[in-house]
Amino acid sequence: MQHLPSNLRLLIGAGLLVLVLAGLGVYFQSETSPVLEDGEIREADAPLPMTGIDGDIKNGVHVPTGFIAAEGVHLVIAHCTACHSAKLVTQNRADREGWQQMIRWMQRTQNLWDLGEQEAAILDYLAENYAPVKSGRRPPLTDIDWYELKD
Ligand code: HEC
């Protein structure tokens, strides 16, 4: 180093410093950005391949749509919120076959496109997270305060 001009040495020093700081930045960023903020991660969900929507997930729910944050949710957000609200999806329950029938019905009558290779993952997500209530994780609701739907 001694034979180098002092301004070049300064430049090399500054360059090294920047590298170290950048390295530290990357290290600490990956340490402090968990997918879910409050720890409610179900086993199947970690790590989630959901680039771009992670920040919208709170308590295991993708807040803007209300979808349960689980494997495949990014596909469902992409394909199933284009024509109607996510609520139409989340308020329904069905097994895999039932979900497939709904998709086929939309394809026949509502111009839903071919979901191609992603259909299987979408059906897995729907059947797993929006299964018929009797076989779901929660017991059926009781004492429901029904109200009349008006149109
Ligand atoms: C191309 C437009 C379009 C896309 C994309 C779409 N749907 Fe639909 N879907 C519709 C229409 C139109 C209806 C009927 C809406 C109504 O009755 O108000 C509907 C209704 C539904 C219903 C209610 C069915 C019922 O029996 O009441 C469900 C559940 C549903 N869609 C789920 C999905 C899912 C899951 C996806 C993603 C795979 C999806 N939709 C993507 C157009 C679409």
Report CA(18)–ligand 1 centroid distance (Å).
52
CB-based burial of residue 149 (10 Å sphere; 0-12 exposed, 13-18 middle, 19+ buried)? exposed
pLDDT per residue as tens, the chain (151 positions): 667 788 888 888 887 877 777 766 566 554 443 345 565 544 444 444 555 788 899 999 999 999 999 999 999 999 999 999 999 999 999 999 999 999 999 999 999 999 999 999 999 999 999 999 865 566 667 777 788 888 7
pLDDT at 80: 97
For residue 44, list its beta bridge partners.
none
Q: Which atom of ligand 1 is nearest to the CA of 89?
A: 29
Which ligand 1 atom sits nearest the alpha carbon of residue 109?
12
**Hey, which of 92, 102, 151 would you mutate to test ligand 1's pocket, going by the most ligand atoms within 8 Å of its Cβ?**
102
Strand partners, 57: 62
In angstroms, the CA 106 to CA 110 distance is: 5
- Cα-based distances in Å from 20 to 13, 25, 26, 31: 11, 9, 10, 17
Residue nearest to atom 39 of ligand 1 (CA): 80
pLDDT, residue 28, reads 55
Evaluated on CA atoms 68, 70, 71, 74, the torsion sign reads positive
Contacts of 51 (CB under 8 A, 6+ apart): 74
Predicted pLDDT of residue 73: 96
